[in-house]
Structures are given as C-alpha cells and as structure tokens.
Amino acid sequence: MHSLQVPLPERSYPIYIGSGLLSQHELLTRHIGGRQVALVTNESIGKLPYLAQLEQSLQGFELTRIILPDGEAYKNWQTLQRIFDELLKARHERSTTLIALGGGVVGDMTGFAAACYQRGAQFIQVPTTLLAQVDSSVGGKTGINHPLGKNMIGAFYQPQAVIIDTGTLQTLPERELSAGLAEVIKYGLIADADFLAFLESHMDALLARDEQALAQAISRSCAIKAQIVAQDERESGIRAILNLGHTFGHAIETHQGYGTWLHGEAVAAGTMMALQMSHELDWIDQAARNRAAGLLLRAKLPIAPPADMTEGDFMRHMAVDKKVQNGRLRLVLLKKPGKAVISADFPATALEATLAFDYQSLQAQL
Ligand SMILES: NC(=O)c1ccc[n+]([C@@H]2O[C@H](COP(=O)([O-])OP(=O)(O)OC[C@H]3O[C@@H](n4cnc5c(N)ncnc54)[C@H](O)[C@@H]3O)[C@@H](O)[C@H]2O)c1
Ligand SMILES: O=C(O)C(=O)C[C@@H](O)[C@H](O)[C@H](O)COP(=O)(O)O
Ligand SMILES: [Zn+2]
C-alpha cells in the first residue's frame, strides 16, 4: 500500500492506494468516529463483491445500506432526499460516518449529503472507478446537477480519508476506464509534461489494466490534485486549472440532460476545444495540440463535440459556468503542455473560431 496526504490548513487527510484495501479492517475503521456507518452505493455496484467485502470489514458497526439508482441522471435532489430519508429512518446521529462506495456520482452525492446531514456528518471516499480514484474522491467538491447547469448545487466538504482499492478497476467497463483516462491526461496537460510523456509510453499498459501502470497513474494524479487543492481549497484562483476542458465539457453534459456522454468523454472533447482555443491564441503550436489529440484518441476518447450541438448551444450553456465572473467567461487554457492558466483575456473571435473548428476533420487527419 502507498499513501499520500492532502495537506489543508484546517484538516489534512490521507489517500491510501493499493490492491485489496477493502478487506483491511484496521485501515477502514481507522477513520470512523462513532458506532454508526451508512454505506452509500448504487444498484450496479451493490451487485459486485465490494459492498459485501466492506460490510465484512466493518463488522461490529451499526451498518445501514443505502442503494441509489445508477447514473448521472440521478445526481439530483430526489436522490439526495433518499439518502436523508434512509439516514433518518435508521436514526443515524450526527456522529455517523457515510461511506461512498462507487464512482463520482455516488461520491459527489454522498459528500454533499454528509455536508448537510445534521449540519455535518463525517464521510469517507471509497472510489471504484478510475475517474473517481484519480479525481472526484479527492479535494472535497461535492454536489448535484441542476437541469440548467452541471454541479450547480453543492458544497466544499472534505472527506476523512480516501481509500482507493485498485483491485476494483478489474470489473470496470472499458468505456468507463477511458473516461477516467480523460482526467488523468488532464493532469499531464495542466501541470506535468513528464507525466504526459509517461502516459504516452504507458497508454497500452493502462488500457490493458496493468496494475503497476494504473497504480503509478493514480498515484501521480492524486499527488498533482492534492498539491493544487492544498494551495486553493475553495477555488479562488489556481484550483480552477483542474477545470481544463470542463467549461466546454459541462456544456455538452447539460445540453444532453446528463448521462448520454460520460463526464470523462465530455471532458475529453472539451479539452480538445480548450487546446484549439490555446492554439487560436498562438499559445501552443499545432504539434502540441495534435500530440494531445493523439493521446486522447489512443485512450479511446472523443476529440470532437457532439455533431448536433451548435455554437449557440455552447454559448448558452457556458454562460452558467461557475467560473463566470461579472458576466465574463473565464476559460482554462494552455500556455504550453504542463502549464495551464485561467483567462478571460481573449478576443471573441478566438472563441468563435474554436466553436466553429472542424474537429472531425482533425481526427481524420491524425
Ligand atoms: N468532485 C469532483 O472533484 C469531481 C471530479 C470529477 C468528476 N466528478 C463527477 O463525477 C461523476 C462521474 O464519475 P464516474 O466517471 O465515476 O461515473 P459514475 O459514478 O457514474 O460511475 C460510472 C459507472 O461505473 C459503474 N461502476 C463504478 N465502479 C465500478 C466497478 N468497480 N466495476 C464496475 N462498474 C463500476 C457505476 O455503477 C456507473 O455505472 C460526474 O458526476 C462528475 O461531475 C466530480
Ligand atoms: O476538483 C476540481 O476542482 C475540479 O475541477 C475537478 C473536475 O474534474 C470535476 O469535474 C469537478 O467536479 C468540476 O467542478 P465544477 O466546480 O466545475 O463543477
Ligand atoms: Zn471532471
């Protein structure tokens, strides 16, 4: 097992990474304060062995299973209400601990429920998708979607610990593995050109679920995210670079009503659009843009937005992005591979050209 810390001013917390961690009683119970535990997961994950393994490791606690419907479309008020209903029915006290067993949808909702329940219960992240292991379980962004905007309702609320059992990735569908790789590639682009080179040389191993390659990618991703979050927990500045590709990506997800494209797929196409915009501004050259596009394609991710989305659709949805300030859109763009900035300082023509660009043709050329 390998561990690292998310160092925060108020309370730091550990991330544990290794195979078989779901069966480690001492590790799992180390961060539980009271006698009650609510295990929050979804219908699909509930059918896999992980929930039973967790229950076995938590023998002796008063356990409540909370099984949610599966899917991004359920990351909403109704599902959140179900978590509160179950907690209250089982008379969970404020000292309870919620454990999120699943992907980012379960993690974001469980964290938000924990932030609200009796004004703040504890929670632990046990992520089971690559995306959740490298991104959503770390950093304390919790929340739900609104029909008019992605993650529009939520709270910054940090977990007690993040426990990443890399063995769970063996059952993950291929499409979900690729979706997670979109956020992994993001870290290379925004903060670490060497990691980008590592991903280029290990992409085949990652897709083949080579345990060592996956553990290295997860560990480096978590370290980069922890280091950024530590500087700016509530996104008043630098943390926004974790949003590379998300302004365009969230527009895609909102436009589709959530769940048609996976979050990671929308982020991949959105990243390509942010790279094209960086190229329009002459910040990165064509070779850098094409290199990143090639890596996304090798990870089996889309680099073109959905064919049915117009420039007007993008503009309408992007206007409700959380990074909009005083009515001005701010975008995360690349100065060079490994160096991202947040900027509102671009001509409208650069954005127009980015939205009008023919991404399908680029894909055909690569
Ligand atoms: N809070 C953050 O910082 C943050 C960061 C990135 C993404 N997110 C959010 O995370 C969500 C996306 O998360 P996701 O990609 O994990 O999607 P997800 O939570 O929908 O999980 C993907 C699918 O995989 C299934 N699954 C999970 N673990 C499995 C396993 N081990 N084996 C087989 N199937 C498994 C799930 O049931 C689901 O069908 C989005 O809502 C996104 O907005 C949040
Ligand atoms: O942790 C962050 O900060 C991120 O931006 C990580 C993103 O990958 C993630 O999708 C996050 O949920 C987006 O946050 P939002 O504030 O743009 O909704
Ligand atoms: Zn994301």
CATH 1.20.1090.10 fits 174-365, yes or no: yes
Residues 67/6, Cβ–Cβ less than 8 Å: no
How far apart (Å, rounded) are the C-alpha atoms in residues 273 and 282?
14
List pLDDT tens digits, range 18-28: 999 999 999 99
Q: 0.95 cut: is pTM over it?
A: yes
The CATH number given to 2-171 is 3.40.50.1970
Protein residues whose CB sits closer than 6 Å to any atom of ligand 2: 135, 139, 141, 150-151, 183, 235, 239, 242-243, 246, 322
Residues 133/4, Cβ–Cβ less than 8 Å: no
Q: Give the closest residue to 145 by CA, choosing from 76, 58, 224, 49.
A: 76
3 state SS of 163: strand
Query: What ipTM was reported for this prediction?
Result: 0.99
Q: Strand 62-68 vs strand 161-165: parallel, antiparallel, or unpaired?
A: unpaired
Token pair 């390998």 is at which residue?
Answer: 2
Q: Domain locations in the chain? A: 2-171, 174-365
Query: What residues does 165 pair with on adjacent strands?
Result: 18
List pLDDT tens digits, range 323-366: 999 999 999 999 999 999 999 999 999 999 999 999 999 999 98
pLDDT > 70 fraction of the chain, expressed in percent and rounded: 100
List pLDDT tens digits, range 122-170: 999 999 999 999 999 999 999 999 999 999 999 999 999 999 999 999 9
Q: Which of 242, 253, 271 to mutate to test the pocket of ligand 2 (most atoms within 8 A of CB)?
A: 242
Distance 352 CA to ligand 1 centre (A): 32
How far apart (Å, rounded) are the C-alpha atoms in residues 257 and 150?
10
183 is catalytic: yes
